Amino acid sequence: MGTSEQGTLARHGGFRVGGWLVQPELNRVCHGDRTVGLEPRLMDVLVFLADRAGQVVSKDQLIDGVWKTEFITEWAITRAIAKLRKALGDEVDAPRYIETISKRGYRLIADVQATETAPDERSAAVKPVVAPRVACDGGVPFVVGQWVRGVQFYGRQAQLAEILDGHRDCLWVLGTRVSGKTSLLRQLELVTETEPERKLLPVFWDLQGAAEPSDLDSYFSEALLESRSRLDAAGVDVGPLLGRELFLALGGLRRAVTEGGRTLLLLCDEAEELLALQRRAPALLRKLRRALQAREGIRTVLAASARLWALAAQSEDTSPFLHGFTPPVHLGPLTDVEARSLLCQSRLDAPARPCFDPDTVGRALDLCGGHPYLLALLGSRVLARGELAAAVAEVEADPTLQHLFAVDLSLLSAEEAAFLVAVAGQAEGADARPALPSGGAYQLEHLGLVRQVDGQHVIGNHFLGQWLRRLPS
């Protein structure tokens, strides 16, 4: 297939790379019943490689064609390729999709083919048909499965206040999958950027894929590059910090920010990666904890799932890594007001909002239990299908959602998981009252997995309950 044809495919519709269906407009790739969302930049890289399938693409070509800025270095390219490989299930040592050509660049080696979907059908799949009674003039306003901030960010006011105005300088944001951890960090970044009177200078540090101690050095340099314009505006020269060992770079950044009369707000996403580093280099984790808990000039926010609790126990003489980061800031269900605001997209101009009738709004709120991802997913499906019942059935059968629930269940302790399954069973008439986990249902309630109704625990939302009840006994 020629390059020009592939370019047309990438720009105007989906295409296949090996066994994956690539949907650039939706920023996702699908393989069987598995759907993986990609960051927009990663999709741009994949499309760029697909346009040149079989050809060696240099890092300079990727920088010029995708990033289009002089401030990006090879670290960002290496990281993007690693993330793409992870999303596609590829291996660097035995590649099936992306091959590394030493000292030259990368080559997409999987077959690239046009999808068989007709243009009018493809357009319908990307831009759903909207029934008049739930229509909105601006199309589908919901963002599903991607981080959001600004006018697309709803709720979390209590968590924002605790992080920005509370007395703690070390915080752990704890939530289930797609509960909005990255979105909260990005909103913190935006708030502190637009409210300079807070004297907080944000740097977003994505740890995803940091498998080796040396990755911390390069990933932190990448974070500095991403924040360079903001840091430059604050009088912080990041040039001398790039490429340096992590602790030298972090210490230098903290001092420079402090000299400018501000506090560094370090926003660490995907902090679960620290577990692998703890196994490989425990001394490094101890040093990192001391750096993140410096007495002045830094406020650190870790975002991670319950898996990070493993760092709360440590058999060595020093304090465990999470000492000082607990109790966590839980990302549980949105409040009723926040959930309604998200479903009705109240921050948008009136013509762009979905016009759901009151019964649809009330029923959707009850089904979703304040879960932001479910609210956006169900809202988008109602717009696509034109009525609630069909949308609910479609969400119940969504394989991506089922995978997310399975991951959340795997992150719980055995006691918590058994309690959750038992509570779900009560809805089908089980007589025995579920035994509480030894620590109680505190964490399950704060994560929104269960809630109390008339003194009894019930599953936090309809879709999770349906999935749990279908599990093999």
pLDDT in tens, 170-221: 999 999 999 999 999 999 999 999 999 999 999 999 998 787 888 899 889 8
What's the pLDDT band for 94 if we cut at 50, 70, 90?
confident
| Contact by Cβ (8 Å): 175, 330 | yes
Residue 462 has pLDDT above 80, yes or no: yes
Give the per-residue pLDDT at 139: 57
Q: Which of 102-106, 135-139, 271-275, 459-463 comes out lowest in average pLDDT? A: 135-139
**Distance of alpha carbon 155 from alpha carbon 20, whole angstroms:** 35
Q: Report the chain's mean pLDDT, rounded to a whole number.
A: 86
DSSP lists the bridge partners of residue 298 as 264
Given the structure tokens 């050509």, which residue do they identify? 101
| Contact by Cβ (8 Å): 290, 269 | no
Whether domain 3-114 has CATH 1.20.120.1200: the reply is: no
Winning range, highest mean pLDDT, from 18-22, 70-74, 122-126, 266-270: 266-270
**Distance of alpha carbon 409 from alpha carbon 52, whole angstroms:** 41
Higher pLDDT, 458 or 243: 458
Helix runs in 293-335, H state only: none
φ, ψ of residue 217 to 5 degrees: the values are -60, -50
Across the range 258-277, mean pLDDT stands at: 94
Give the per-residue pLDDT at 294: 77
| Contact by Cβ (8 Å): 238, 255 | no
Give the per-residue pLDDT at 1: 44
Residue 311 has pLDDT above 50, yes or no: yes
Burial class (CB in 10 A: 0-12, 13-18, 19+), 45: buried
**Distance of alpha carbon 155 from alpha carbon 30, whole angstroms:** 30
Give the per-residue pLDDT at 51: 92
| Contact by Cβ (8 Å): 329, 181 | no
**Distance of alpha carbon 299 from alpha carbon 70, whole angstroms:** 30
Choices 2.40.128.110, 3.40.50.720, 1.25.10.10, 3.40.50.300: CATH for 157-330? 3.40.50.300
Q: Residue 161 is encoded by which pair of tokens?
A: 């206040």
**Distance of alpha carbon 186 from alpha carbon 178, whole angstroms:** 14
Domain with CATH 3.40.50.300 in the chain: 157-330
Give the per-residue pLDDT at 340: 97
pLDDT digits (tens, 9 = 90+) for 96-119: 999 998 889 999 999 998 875 433
Q: Rounded to two decimals, what is the model's pTM?
A: 0.80
Which 3 state secondary structure label does DSSP give 15? strand
Give the per-residue pLDDT at 245: 94
Domain with CATH 1.10.10.10 in the chain: 3-114
CA–CA distances in Å: residue 267 to residues 26, 189, 403: 27, 8, 27
Give the per-residue pLDDT at 33: 62
Smallest CA-to-CA distance from 165 within 263, 231, 258 is with: 263
**Distance of alpha carbon 107 from alpha carbon 128, whole angstroms:** 35
Given the structure tokens 């605001």, which residue do they identify? 341
Burial class (CB in 10 A: 0-12, 13-18, 19+), 407: middle
Q: Give percent above pLDDT 70 in the chain.
A: 88
Q: Give percent above pLDDT 90 in the chain.
A: 57
Winning range, highest mean pLDDT, from 95-99, 228-232, 264-268: 264-268
